[in-house]
């Protein structure tokens, strides 16, 4: 909470809930503070970590915005905002790394067994949470409800499990305070998380967005969650975003890459920050239609061509393909953290990405497959032979492949196919891989063909 001293009830300086005591500000940045005041009112912002005072004047609309230089990680600090009519004192502020944790139910999921296991030892004032209240709106909003709280047994029970394990790992590896902003809404397609005008700008996206399934537990109109749960926090200075969503778009997978990267671009534009965006590929699951999940996974993999993105593959972290919500959020959070530590923070942590298909060559009756992110070769986890590789000739009839793992490639063949031309790996709704790079990351599902796949039961 902040201390507010009023001298007049009219036109007092005010702040959105996310700018409050106990917040975490991004280190070594121009952290944005904003709010409302009397039109053209002049006031000052005093930050306890520096001697210079920031002088501010509100716009004619009564809104104001200020960028305050922050030092390297530390705290606690105070910020005092002094105006003509009132003074606001924000206390117990930390400076460190700030990340948004967003998406649908798999990011929202909290208090799983892994969280219950760490509750007795989780208390840490250097890890803080802000959970954006669930709201929807037809128009962009100024306020998003929520409070900044320290991590403890009570607050962690209600926070994203994947987000917490991500943030905890960053805190341990970087040694700085970490602020996590959770903005999640279960069962939501990506269209609800981006401005409607992004979808209106492309005929394919426009048509696809009219086919959102009509359900009672969430809005069905594009942009409604963006307006109420992303736009109101878009002034906040962040280090990056982690995202876990996609299950809500499997029935309409063909346009997901456009929609998803359009959303990332729209967020970066609105935040006025070119922040990194790391996401989780959806898990194997028994979807209603054949290839429904596989095609969405493929769209997510293609999204990696968008700048400053990274993807976590979790085909090995699923115990039950009939459960849409994998319980292992610890390893998901750790893999997301590895992306941030390696790509954003440039830590020397070795190989931290799943192998991605790069190219193939044909030799007699076999096909050699080459991958990025497998410099030390491959391995099998568990007993048995490599699984999930299929191979086909011109007849498009895919058969299980014999697999030979070499130090620099994987060779696949089938004795019944004399002239193979295409390979698929884990290209199905429920494919769970047992082939990894030597660092323990599963191969990213892929196919080398672009043949039409049947969507009938």
Across the beta sheet with 366-372, the strand order is 356-363, 366-372, 410-413, 402-405
pLDDT at 457: 60
- Reduce the secondary structure of the chain to three states and give it as a string: CCEEEECCCCCCCECCCCCCCCCEEECCCEEEEEEECCCCCEEEEEECCCCCEEEEECCCCCEEEEEEECCCCEEEEEEEEECCCEEEEEEEEEEEEEEEEEECHHHHCCCCHHHHHHHHHCCEEEEEEEECCCCCCCCCCCCCCCCEEEECHHHHCCCCHHHHHHHHHHHHHHCCCEEEEEEECCCCCHHHHCCHHHHHCCHHHHHHHCCCCCCCCCCCCCCHHHHHHHHHHCCCCCCEEEEECCHHHHHHHHHHHHHHHHHHHHHHHHHCCCCCEEEECCCCCCCCCCCHHHHHHHHHHHHHHCCCEEEECCCCCCCCCCCCCCCCHHHHHHHHHHHHHHHHCCCCCCCCCCCEEEEEEEECCEEEEEEECCCCCEEECCCCCCCCEEEECCCCCCEECEEEECCCCEEEECCCCCCCCEEEECCCCCCCCCEEECCCCECCCEECCCCCCCCCC
Domains defined along the chain, listed by start: 3-94 (2.60.40.10), 96-344 (3.40.50.1110), 356-447 (no CATH)
The pTM is what? 0.96
pLDDT by position in tens, the chain (length 457): 444 444 444 579 999 999 999 999 999 999 999 999 999 999 999 999 999 999 999 999 999 999 999 999 999 999 999 999 999 999 999 999 999 999 999 999 999 999 999 999 999 999 999 999 999 999 999 999 999 999 999 999 999 999 999 999 999 999 999 999 999 999 999 999 999 999 999 999 999 999 999 999 999 999 999 999 999 999 999 999 999 999 999 999 999 999 999 999 999 999 999 999 999 999 999 999 999 999 999 999 999 999 999 999 999 999 999 999 999 999 999 999 999 999 999 999 999 999 999 999 998 899 999 999 999 999 999 878 899 999 999 999 999 999 999 999 999 999 999 999 999 999 999 999 899 999 999 999 999 999 999 776 6
pLDDT at 11: 74
Q: Token pair of 426, please?
A: 């884990």
pLDDT at 1: 47
Kindly give, in sequence order, each residue whose CB lies less than 8 Å from that of residue 176, ignoring residues fewer than 6 positions away.
27, 73, 96, 97, 126, 170
Distance CA 255, CA 268 (A): 20
How many C-beta atoms surround the C-beta of residue 264 within 10 A?
Answer: 21
Is 160 within 8 Å of 184 (Cβ atoms)?
Answer: yes
Is 367 within 8 Å of 387 (Cβ atoms)?
Answer: no
Distance CA 160, CA 181 (A): 10
Distance CA 15, CA 56 (A): 14
Is 378 within 8 Å of 355 (Cβ atoms)?
Answer: yes
């Amino acid at each position: 909470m902040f201390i507010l001293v009023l001298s007049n009830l009219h036109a007092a300086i005010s702040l959105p809930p996310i700018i409050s005591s106990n917040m975490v500000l991004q280190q070594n940045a121009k952290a944005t503070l904003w709010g409302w005041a009397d039109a053209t009112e002049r006031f000052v912002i005093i930050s306890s970590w520096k001697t210079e005072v920031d002088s501010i004047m509100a716009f004619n609309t009564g809104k104001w915005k200020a960028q305050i230089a922050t030092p390297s990680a530390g705290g606690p600090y105070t910020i005092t905002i002094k105006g003509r009519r009132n003074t606001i004192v924000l206390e117990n502020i930390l400076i460190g790394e700030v990340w948004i944790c967003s998406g649908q139910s798999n990011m929202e999921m909290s208090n799983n067994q892994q969280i219950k296991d760490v509750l007795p030892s989780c208390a840490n004032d250097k890890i803080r949470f802000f959970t954006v209240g669930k709201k929807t709106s037809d128009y962009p909003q100024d306020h998003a409800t929520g409070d900044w709280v320290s991590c403890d047994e009570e607050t962690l029970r209600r926070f994203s499990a994947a987000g917490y394990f991500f943030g905890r790992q960053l805190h341990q590896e970087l040694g700085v305070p970490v602020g996590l902003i959770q903005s999640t809404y279960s069962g939501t397609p990506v269209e609800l998380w981006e401005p409607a005008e992004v979808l209106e700008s492309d005929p394919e996206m426009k048509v696809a967005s009219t086919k959102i399934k009509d359900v009672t537990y969430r809005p069905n109109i594009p942009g409604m969650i963006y307006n109420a749960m992303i736009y109101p926090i878009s002034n906040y200075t962040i280090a990056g975003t982690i995202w876990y969503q996609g299950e809500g778009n499997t029935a309409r997978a063909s346009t997901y890459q456009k929609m998803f990267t359009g959303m990332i671009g729209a967020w970066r534009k609105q935040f006025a920050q070119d922040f990194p965006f790391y996401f989780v590929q959806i898990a194997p699951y028994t979807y209603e239609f054949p290839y429904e999940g596989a095609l969405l996974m493929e769209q997510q993999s293609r999204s990696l061509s968008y700048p400053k993105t990274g993807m976590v593959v979790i085909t090995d972290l699923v115990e039950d393909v009939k459960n849409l919500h994998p319980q292992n959020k610890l390893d998901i959070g750790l893999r997301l953290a590895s992306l941030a530590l390696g790509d954003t923070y440039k830590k020397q942590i070795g190989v931290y990405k799943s192998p991605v298909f790069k190219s193939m060559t044909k030799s007699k009756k076999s096909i050699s497959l080459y991958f990025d992110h497998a410099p030390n070769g491959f391995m099998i986890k568990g007993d048995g032979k490599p699984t999930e590789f299929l191979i086909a000739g011109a007849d498009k009839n895919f058969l299980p492949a014999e697999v030979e793992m070499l130090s620099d490639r994987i060779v696949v063949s089938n004795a019944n196919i004399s002239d193979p031309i295409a390979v698929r790996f884990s290209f199905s709704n429920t494919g769970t891989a047992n082939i990894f790079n030597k660092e323990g990351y599963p191969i990213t599902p892929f196919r080398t063909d672009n043949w039409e796949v049947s969507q009938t039961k």
